[in-house]
């Protein structure tokens, strides 16, 4: 199975400051058609997961533009330009290139 | 509006089976797959598999092969996930999601396996 490794696992951030989460995969996530199926999910406390970013850098509908994704191959990053209180929760990267799909361990974002 | 409403919490003994339902509304049920994801207490997410509502084709995570069955009932727009031979490490919140989690998720069903 593809192992997804996130860092940091805990991310205290001051309101209004930027945040960045790294995700590395144990093998390339480039699919045979050239697409890279790397997604980012947010899970707020007590809620179901919600996808924020798909195929590395595409924001889902309704996702604020302060969220952005980047990367290629095996190294990916989720950035929040200015953290707001509603961003508290756990963030997971997830690969959908190789079955079984796998998630990172999660990064817990909290307000400092 | 689109909703996925799951059945309530379950407590099972080791070796038993559990069957969770996921009732869809607000869209044409047969036009989207249903995926199942679980989350052990305080842990991360694990993709269990999915079912094509259109043709009932299933794809399961290998570690669950032989113990899991995903089905649908198009007459009631309901998807089901049955897990057999339950172990303590199957204790988790189980989620259904439309397609591959890109938009709608159920609220989750807690399954506790304990003697």
- A100·B62 Cβ contact <8 A: yes
Specify the residue for token string 């999910």. Answer: A41
Rounded-to-integer distance, Cα A29 and Cα A22, Å: 15
- The angle formed by the CA atoms of residues A18, A24 and A27, to the nearest 5 degrees, is 155
* Nearest residue in B to A55, CA atom: B102
Q: Tell me: the pLDDT tens digits for B56-108?
A: 999 999 999 999 999 999 999 999 999 999 999 999 999 999 998 888 999 99
Contacts of B102 in chain A (CB under 8 A): 51, 54, 60
Rounded-to-integer distance, Cα A93 and Cα B33, Å: 21
Question: Cα separations (Å) of B27 from A65, A66, B87, B98, B99?
Answer: 28, 30, 35, 10, 12
Q: Does B95 touch chain A (CB under 8 A)?
A: yes
Contacts of A101 in chain B (CB under 8 A): 47, 100
Residue A78 β-bridge partners: A21, A69
Q: Tell me: the pLDDT tens digits for A96-111?
A: 999 999 999 999 999 9
**Tokens, residue B104:** 């709608």
Rounded-to-integer distance, Cα A93 and Cα B3, Å: 24
Contacts of B95 in chain A (CB under 8 A): 48-49
SS3 content of chain B, % helix, strand, coil (to 5): 10, 50, 45
Q: Tell me: the pLDDT tens digits for A65-93?
A: 999 999 999 999 999 999 999 999 999 99
Specify the residue for token string 């080791």. Answer: B14
Q: What is the pLDDT of residue B101?
A: 86
Q: Does B2 touch chain A (CB under 8 A)?
A: no
How many residues would you count in chain B?
Answer: 115
Contacts of A106 in chain B (CB under 8 A): 44-45
- CA nearest neighbour of B101 among A76, A74, A96: A96
């Amino acid at each position: 199975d593809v192992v997804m490794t996130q860092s940091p696992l805990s991310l205290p951030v001051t309101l209004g400051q930027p945040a960045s989460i790294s995700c590395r995969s144990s093998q390339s996530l480039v699919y045979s058609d050239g697409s890279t199926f790397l997604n980012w999910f947010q899970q707020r406390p007590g809620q179901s997961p919600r996808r924020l970013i798909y195929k590395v850098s595409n924001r889902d509908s309704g996702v604020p533009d302060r969220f952005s994704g980047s990367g290629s191959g095996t190294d990916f990053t989720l950035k929040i330009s200015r953290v707001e209180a509603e961003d508290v929760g756990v963030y997971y990267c997830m690969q959908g290139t190789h079955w079984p799909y796998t998630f990172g361990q999660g990064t817990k974002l909290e307000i400092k | 509006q689109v909703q996925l409403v799951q059945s309530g919490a379950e407590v099972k003994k080791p070796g038993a089976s559990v069957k969770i339902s996921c009732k869809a509304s607000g869209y044409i049920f047969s036009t989207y797959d249903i995926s199942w994801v679980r989350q052990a207490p305080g842990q991360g997410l694990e993709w269990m598999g999915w079912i094509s509502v259109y043709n009932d084709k299933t794809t399961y995570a290998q570690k669950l092969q032989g113990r899991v069955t995903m089905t649908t009932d198009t007459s009631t727009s309901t998807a089901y996930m049955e897990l057999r031979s339950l172990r303590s490490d199957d204790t988790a919140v189980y989620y259904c999601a439309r397609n591959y989690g890109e938009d709608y998720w159920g609220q989750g069903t807690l399954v506790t396996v304990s003697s």
